[in-house]
Amino acid sequence: KHVLKIENLHVSVGDKPILRGVNLSMNHGETHALMGPNGSGKSTLGLAIMGHPGYEVTDGSITLDGQDVLAMEPNERARVGLFMAFQRPVAVPGVKMADFLRHATTNVRRPDRKEGEDLIPMREFRKELKDKMQHLRMDVEFARRYVNDGFSGGEMKRAEILQLAMLQPKFAILDETDSGLDADAVRLASESIAEIGGREKMGLLIITHHDKLLEHNPPEFTHVMLGGRIVETGGKELAEELHRSGYDRIRKAYPEAD
């Protein structure tokens, strides 16, 4: 069983300390909700796990099945099975979704492939892409569009979910996959995530301010981040409480963290 383990993680952006000792352990097959007020460090944690260059780890460790993740380049992290859908994805004009996904999928499935060697064969790839898109009730035309170029909020999220379905990572971090979506789109996203990533299939770390995304993905664990630390961990009732009542109780209970 795969385990992603974060211990005493300290991360700075520029010279500013953001994460100040994060501990979090996830098993494959578990769903964890990561909550906390804006600016508490949730996205920073995700970006540090993925190896974003602007986020400097100054102390602590991240391991996947005992392997040192911090020693890996970002694309190696993707290859060993880590995935993050970005909160503000960048547009890649001139690259079609299908081509982008074919490269990304090849990178993950053929770890020993050298630069310039063959990608996953087109026919095999197209078939799988089409099957997955139909399964997710996506229009296959969508794959011909340029990556995130002129995508609506809902289309960006659908693109993320398609990436998740194609890459089948061991652990996926979904950073506010519901932001800017209407209720129907969130429900569809929630169902799709449950179908491709739910129970048993991967470890999910879901960052969300809304309860709808968790509807089909009830978290076994909910973590609350405040001031760059996880100050409380509970079950799904903790997510429900925070959705209902906000962070006042947390702020009062941990004044030194805020």
Closer to Mg ion by CB, 42 or 77: give it.
42
Count residues near ligand ADP (CB under 6 A): 11
User: Which residues, 99 to 158, sit near Mg ion by CB under 5 A?
Assistant: none
Closer to Mg ion by CB, 34 or 186: give it.
34
User: Which residues, 12 to 41, sit near ligand ADP by CB under 6 A?
Assistant: 13, 18, 36, 38-41
Q: Which does 163 bind (CB under 5 to 8 A by kind): Mg ion, ligand ADP, none?
A: none
- The two structure tokens encoding residue 232: 């409380």
Torsion of CA 81, 212, 249, 13, to 10 degrees: 40
Give the residue among 67, 36, 30, 72 at the shortest CA–CA distance from 51.
Answer: 72
Q: Which does 12 bind (CB under 5 to 8 A by kind): ligand ADP, Mg ion, none?
A: none
* DSSP code per residue over 218-234: --SEEEEEETTEEEEEE
Selected from 6, 33, 35, 42, the binder of ligand ADP by CB under 6 A is 42
Note the Cα 42 to chain centre separation in Å: 11
Establish if 44 lies at the interface with ligand ADP (CB under 6 A): yes
Note the Cα 51 to chain centre separation in Å: 13
Establish if 38 lies at the interface with Mg ion (CB under 5 A): yes
> Phi and psi of 223, rounded to 5°?
-115, 140
The total of other beta-carbon atoms located within 10 Å of residue 256's CB is 8
The total of other beta-carbon atoms located within 10 Å of residue 228's CB is 23
Establish if 43 lies at the interface with Mg ion (CB under 5 A): yes
Closer to ligand ADP by CB, 35 or 166: give it.
35
Residues near Mg ion (CB under 5 A) are 38, 42-43
Q: Which residues bind ligand ADP (CB under 6 A)?
A: 13, 18, 36, 38-44, 54
